[in-house]
Amino acid sequence: SQQGEEDPQALSIQEGENATMNCSYKTSINNLQWYRQNSGRGLVHLILIRSNEREKHSGRLRVTLDTSKKSSSLLITASRAADTASYFCATVKPPYFGNEKLTFGTGTRLTIIP
């Protein structure tokens, strides 16, 4: 079963704009990760945020985590055509703390219009 849901399911923006994707989950977690997948290929890890962290940055990526609302957001700034992909959040629930059993959401399909 899917733990989380991404919102929106699909998003189209102009190149250069910022893209925001949201992830909601149901139970308490130890960490939350974001992955990117290009058109049916393998997933690429983007960023990991632990349950005691509220915000992390990596290049053009900014992730926030609100454990009280059981939600996370991924912001991609200054989007590029190469950012076109599906984005998934994945949670790790207790008793696991690393990557022993990731539970993925349903994904957001992001399209960047040149």
CB of 108 to other proteins, least distance (A): 11
Distance of alpha carbon 27 from alpha carbon 60, whole angstroms: 29
Which residue lies nearer to other proteins by CB, 7 or 15? Answer: 7
Which residue lies nearer to other proteins by CB, 5 or 15? Answer: 5
Distance of alpha carbon 80 from alpha carbon 93, whole angstroms: 33
Residues in the site for other proteins, rule: CB under 8 A? Answer: 1-2, 31, 33, 35, 40-45, 48, 88, 90, 92, 96-107
List the end-to-end C-alpha distance of the chain, in Å, as a whole number: 36
